[in-house]
A and B are shown apart, each in its own frame.
Chain A
Amino acid sequence: GQQLNQSPQSMFIQEGEDVSMNCTSSSIFNTWLWYKQDPGEGPVLLIALYKAGELTSNGRLTAQFGITRKDSFLNISASIPSDVGIYFCAGRGPPNTGNQFYFGTGTSLTVIP
């Protein structure tokens, strides 16, 4: 199945630093979602984006739906230790793909206190 290219694969940052990660696809998506997964738990929805160019914030998190509809970005400002986890992007394909959601391979974030 289709896979989204998510980068970077992993990040090691100091507490207080800002974080940026992105997701790209060769196909156009109608919806972009960002999830965070902690060890032993299911992914938790962080931000949902429904329109090209849309910029949405959730606390210290900000995500954007790329204008080309082939990419999305997630930024975390002033990172804290509890931001540690794996971040996944997900894109929803058009109706001819069955409206499936395709997931990125994840960005593993480590925050050093």
Chain B
Amino acid sequence: DSGVTQTPKHLITATGQRVTLRCSPRSGDLSVYWYQQSLDQGLQFLIQYYNGEERAKGNILERFSAQQFPDLHSELNLSSLELGDSALYFCASSVDGQGNQPQHFGDGTRLSIL
């Protein structure tokens, strides 16, 4: 158990809809990272938050957004969903914001778009 909690585990929805994925980092971790993992691709970095502020941005679509709340949990919002958004979405957390400490991953949310 990594200590990172993601909910829900599975999500099935239709094209055009909007969903919110939730992540609670390990106790004491200030950084939260979001990744997308598709069948034909590896882990793609989406965005990082550190202590409530956006720290780094990767390949995140404009239809996607995230935030980190004062209690350090984070939410990833995906809107105007398309079939290609079907993937595993992982959250990871670490103590620092500079990448000097390794990231610990949750078990992911599997998003299926019908």
Contacts and interface: CB of A to CB of B under 8 A. Distances in A.
Interface stretch (A13-21, A52-60, A71-79, A99-107): A99-107
Contact of B45 (A30, A88, A95, A100): A100
Nearest to A50: B100
A44 interface: yes
Nearest to A33: B102
Interface stretch (B12-20, B50-58, B63-71, B76-84): B50-58
Interface string B83-110: 0000000101000011110111111100
Residue among B55, B59, B98 with most chain A CB within 10 A: B98
B42 A31 contact: no
Residue among B4, B42, B90, B108 with most chain A CB within 10 A: B42
Residue among A3, A41, A88, A101 with most chain B CB within 10 A: A101
